[in-house]
Amino acid sequence: MKKEDLRIVFLGTPEFAVESLDALVSNSFNIVGVVTMPDKPAGRGHKLLHSAVKQYALAHNLHLMQPVNLKDEAFVDELRSLNADLFIVIAFRMLPKVVWQMPRLGTFNLHASLLPRYRGAAPINRAVMNGDTETGVTTFMLKHEIDTGDILGQERIGIGPDDCVGDVHDRLMHIGARLTLDTVNHIIAGDLKPVPQDELLQGEEPTPAPKIFKEDCRIDWNRPAREVHNLVRGLSPYPAAWTMMSVSGGEPSMVKILKTVLRPELPATTPGNVTINGDTISVECADHVVDIERLQPSGKRPMTAAEYLRGQSSRVITFE
């Protein structure tokens, strides 16, 4: 089969998915349909916001579908009418069986982890939050249980000790596009050898990567400094770690902590205690100190610690 003859439907929503879609289009693959989430109201005016995938599809005149219900008969009929050979899913939502079983060559997903590690909604965040030194991307065939299908391909990257989730996300987005292309080319060649995830588990349990909620992002200064540092970089720039801050004993308000620096040479005795020295905000954790390098007070833009301190008349700060 020539790649021009392979009819592909692409399903995805955020920027992470656009990189792979663009790689397919730029390499002359036949994208006969694009499925993305319905527009969402955003901002004070509740203006409808187009997903990154929708914006790309419109700009490249691709056939676009935005179903509210993936089991809706009209959507399923429209999807079936495209006579696709293959579906590719990247950062979308859980598909019903009637959809993922439709194409003759099946449906594969690009997932931002080295499966079976980090099955779930937040694999990149969880890997960085846990202090992992390696992650990657995986393509696998979809089946009913989420993130459990046979593996088609993987690529690995290292995670540096100070990388934030935004850094890792962008690198995975690029190598994910490469792996997506590679997987489709192997499907065309017919030489794929899918590997069941159970073979890789070797009796161990898969690593979960559950969705992140607001309370998961709150900093506990009673934890070791490295854990606090990993939490901050694993949530930066979004959704961001946070703590409650009071200035001069005033009413506490939430502040996002966007970047920290480990200070292992400085021992700590009082977790949460804040020391200001020049332009530096230092916070004691369970064992050592972290410096706050970048933060975002409630209702304000992100700023460096030095910028924040220049705007404060008081230098008496308390974190909770």
Range of the domain at 59: 3-201
Domain-ending residue, one of 172, 201, 230: 201
Position 271 pLDDT exceeds 90: yes
Domain boundary residue, one of 177, 201, 225: 201
The CATH number for 58's domain is 3.40.50.170
Nearest CA to 110 out of 54, 169, 183, 168 is that of 183
Please write the tens of the pLDDT for every residue from 173-213: 999 999 999 999 999 999 999 999 999 888 888 999 999 99
Reading the block at residue 170, the tokens are: 């962008």
The model's pTM: 0.94
Residue 250's domain is classified under what CATH number? 3.10.25.10
Whether 14 has a pLDDT exceeding 90, the answer reads yes
pLDDT digits (tens, 9 = 90+) for 60-80: 999 999 999 999 999 999 999
122 and 247: one domain?
no
Asked if residue 15 and residue 40 are part of one domain, the reply reads yes
Q: Are 1 and 188 in contact (CB under 8 A)?
A: yes
Verify cis geometry, omega within 30 degrees of 0, for the bond prior to 208: no
Residues in the chain: 320
Query: How many Cα atoms within 13 Å fall on the side-chain side of residue 6?
Result: 23
Does residue 108 have a pLDDT over 80? yes
Task: Verify that 249 and 173 share a domain, yes or no.
Answer: no
Report the alpha-carbon angle 179-184-188, nearest 5. 145
Tell whether 164 and 31 lie within a shared domain.
Answer: yes
277 compared with 178, residue with greater pLDDT: 178
Please check the confidence at residue 46 and state whether its pLDDT lies above 70. no
pLDDT in tens, 111-157: 999 999 999 999 999 999 999 999 999 999 998 888 999 999 999 99
Residue 315: pLDDT over 80: no
**pLDDT for res 118:** 97
Q: What's the whole-number mean pLDDT along residues 30-50?
A: 85
